[in-house]
Structure 1
Amino acid sequence: MTNSSENRLEKTWATACVGRLNEQKRLLNLLRPHVPTDELWVRPGHDLNGIGHLLQHIKGNMSQYILHTLGAKGQGREREKEFQDAPKITSDALFDSVCETLDQSALRIEKTLVNFWSQQHRIQTFEMSALEAVMHSIEHTAYHIGQIALLVKQRKGIKLSFYPSID
């Protein structure tokens, strides 16, 4: 591949990732009004996570897999705490925090140089390239947002209309 082709691929990859992150933020903001603070830590069953736990987990995963891998300082993830209740935080504050992490991740992706994407990293117990780490985190976030959407639908008995033009 020529440098020109690599640069186009880098731009296409980064643009696609940022587009996915923006879509995830849009979906979270549509879910936000349906998640009051008093429902954040309600677990739908034994050994299942509530919406607050899933949001904390999304933030932790993205911080580790995207922000830290792409050079942000202070990884400091405490994965076990993501699944503990944090009753002092409001729903809006938690959604804001996750959306800020999505924004920071998008900026970090946009600034990543082409030669960095193939570099190998050890994340938790896994060896992977920076590209794979970002792909993993975006996919991981998408399925947890799907879980949150399901919990909201079950609790509220509503249609979320994520895509009103095709509903």
Structure 2
Amino acid sequence: MEEMKLFVKIALHRMYDHYLPKLLRSIQAFNTEQLWECNAPGLNSVGGIVLHICEHVKRNTLSYLQRNIKFDAGIEEYFPQLDFTPDMLSTIVQETFDKWKHQITNMINENNYSDIDMHSLFHLVEHTSYHLGQIVDRAKRMTGTSFQFCQNGLNEKTLRSIIENEK
């Protein structure tokens, strides 16, 4: 049980304190046109990838609320093309991650780990990381922004400190 609790806390802080700030900073580096630009045939826009991440986070949040929920279709091809500004998209991301964090935190506080599928949670973290890497790379390439995430505290040492200080 202690290992599961630690795993969930690591996932929570990695998603919320590590990935979310990087995602929001990356979104803000773009203008609206860049956010929805498809650089080549078959490529998804950054905005579409961000909404894809949000859909995955939303589905995980719902699965904590409704353990037996079944979705009609997967999200493998869910990369919508909309015309949200960076601020609008950032708001959607923040709200989505806030709801997810609220559910995970409630489960931790209630010592309720039976509703958390470790495989799904690990996949969510891994999937978010994969797409975040795409987004950060495109932001650097398309805007010339140098984020310096590690130098500015978004690194493993800081993440570990957050988790250890929470105990």
RMSD: 2.6
If each structure's strand is expressed as a fraction of its own residues, which one has the higher value? Answer: 1
2:89 to 68, 91, 94: 94
Distance 1:33 1:132 in 2: 32
Structure with more contact order per residue of length (Cα contacts < 8 Å, sep ≥ 6): 2
**Partners of 1:58 and 1:144 within 8 A in 2:** yes
Shift of 1:10: 3.7
Aligned residues: 147
Cα deviation, 1:87-143, whole Å, max 9, x if unaligned, reads 2x22211122112211211221222312233xxxxxxxxxxxx11111111111111
- State the partner residue of 2:127: 140
Matched, 1:30 2:29: no
Distance 1:165 1:39 in 2: 25
Secondary structure in structure 2 of the residue aligned to 1:30: helix
Matched, 1:16 2:3: no
Shift of 1:52: 0.4
Normalising by structure 1, we get a TM-score of 0.76
Secondary structure in structure 2 of the residue aligned to 1:16: helix
Normalising by structure 2, we get a TM-score of 0.76
Structure 2 unaligned blocks of 5 or more = 154-167
Structure 1 unaligned blocks of 5 or more = 1-5, 118-129
**Partners of 2:51 and 2:80 within 8 A in 1:** no
Distance 2:129 2:86 in 1: 19
- State the partner residue of 2:115: 116
Shift of 1:84: 2.9
Matched, 1:150 2:142: no
Secondary structure in structure 1 of the residue aligned to 2:38: coil
Distance 2:95 2:131 in 1: 17
- State the partner residue of 1:69: 63
- State the partner residue of 1:106: 101
Distance 1:162 1:75 in 2: 37
CA shift in 2, pair 1:18/1:147, >3 Å: same
